[in-house]
Amino acid sequence: MIIDENRAELVTYSYPDYDVFIQYFRREKPTNLHGGIAHWHNDVEFLVTLAGTAEHSINGKVITLHRGETIFVNSRQMHYARPIGGERSEILCIRLNPNMLSMSPFFDNTYVLPVTQNHNMPYFILREDNGWQQDVIRCLTEIHRHSKSPSSHLKIHGLLCLIWSQLFENMPESSQQNFADVNDLTAIEAMIDFIEQYYSEKISLAQIAESGHVCESKCCRLFGKYVHKTPNTYLIHYRLGKAAELLTQTEQSVTEIALSCGFGGASYFSETFRKHFGVTPKEYRAGIRT
């Protein structure tokens, strides 16, 4: 993960010089960790539930979506998503930098910023039984279908403009955001970014709290409210996620991975990994999943 000067995640995209990410995710059954790691970014995101059931947390509020339901996550919202239940899950994720739609200052001020800065719309749920919402969901699936076509950029951009026009016309009226909420979100974003930047080092609760300019007790309260985990649990889960990536993407030894992800040693890492994933690091590397 790369962090910019504002400590926000620099996300990757599906195309060079075109800030759209399109990915179809299919899981035969949910795992303990994949998904469920709270994060934020400047992009907006659409998550279409094609099969199964998914749990979404937006700024601490948990929403369960089923097949045929879609969620729009606005810019700079603390969120995560994870499949739940024992059935197969399929999710289409489309994420874009809203600046793509700012063809001029007029478009930015008239159509883009009123949506991304609408404090009454941190997220929006779209359902297939609603006329305009059904059109948006259809456009999202069309984006995925056209993602490999020779004129993909043109087709995708046209569909994104149609989607945005529907959001703009149907969004709730905005209001002034509570100052305390702004401060809390700023603090939790900074603390999570601190963890994601320094997870490989030995870090304390005091350091995490200091990065968000809050006391330790408020640090714990904010993690409980927005992330539904303690700061230490979030840190361990993030380290485990990075370790899982290294196990499948590199040939580093288990000991090397343990140390590079902030664990004190291979034995503690292996025990923690097995408790969380249900398999040992070596079994996970071999493709065994619980």
What is the torsion angle, in degrees rounded to the nearest 10, for the CA atoms of residue 138, residue 101, residue 75 and residue 8? 130
Nearest Cα neighbor of 258 from 276, 248, 272, 278 is 272
Tell whether pTM > 0.85: no
139 in helix, strand or coil? helix
Task: Please give the pLDDT value at position 14.
Answer: 81
| CATH class (in words) of the domain with range 179-285 | mainly alpha
At residue 197, the pLDDT reads 92
Concatenate the DSSP letters of all residues of 148-197 into one string.
TSTTHHHHHHHHHHHHHHHHHHHPPPP-PPPHHHHHHHHHHHHHHHHHHH
For residue 287, what are the contacts with CB-CB under 8 A and spacing of at least 6? none
Provide φ and ψ at 59, rounded to 5°.
50, 40
280 neighbors 244 (Cβ within 8 angstroms) = no
The mean pLDDT of 246-250, rounded to a whole number, is: 93
**What confidence tier does 1 reach under pLDDT thresholds 50, 70, 90?**
very low
**CATH 1.10.10.60 spans which residues of the chain?**
179-285
pLDDT digits (tens, 9 = 90+) for 75-86: 999 998 888 877
Q: What mean pLDDT, rounded, does the chain reach?
A: 88
How many degrees, rounded to 5, is the angle at CA 253 between CA 248 and CA 258?
85
Region for 40 from its dihedrals, namely left if φ exceeds 0, alpha if ψ lies in -120 to 50, beta otherwise: beta
| Residues 137-186 pLDDT 10s | 999 999 999 988 999 999 999 999 999 999 999 999 887 666 667 789 89
Quickly list DSSP for 155-167: HHHHHHHHHHHHH
Contact 88, 82 (CB under 8 A): no
Residue 174: per-residue pLDDT:
80
What tens digit of pLDDT does each residue of 99-131 get?
A: 999 889 999 999 999 999 998 999 999 999 999
Task: Assess whether pLDDT exceeds 60 at residue 3.
Answer: no
The answer, yes or no, to whether residue 4 has pLDDT greater than 70, is: no
The pLDDT score that the predictor gives to residue 175 is 72
Closest to 233 measured CA to CA, from 11, 13, 33: 33
Q: What is the CATH number of domain 20-170?
A: 2.60.120.280
Q: CATH 2.60.120.280 region(s) of the chain? A: 20-170
Chain segment 38-84, per-residue pLDDT in tens = 888 899 999 999 999 999 999 989 999 999 999 999 999 999 888 88
Q: Residue written as tokens 């620099």?
A: 10
Cα-based angle 32, 35, 40 (whole degrees, multiple of 5): 145
**Contact at 8 Å (CB) between 171 and 197?**
no
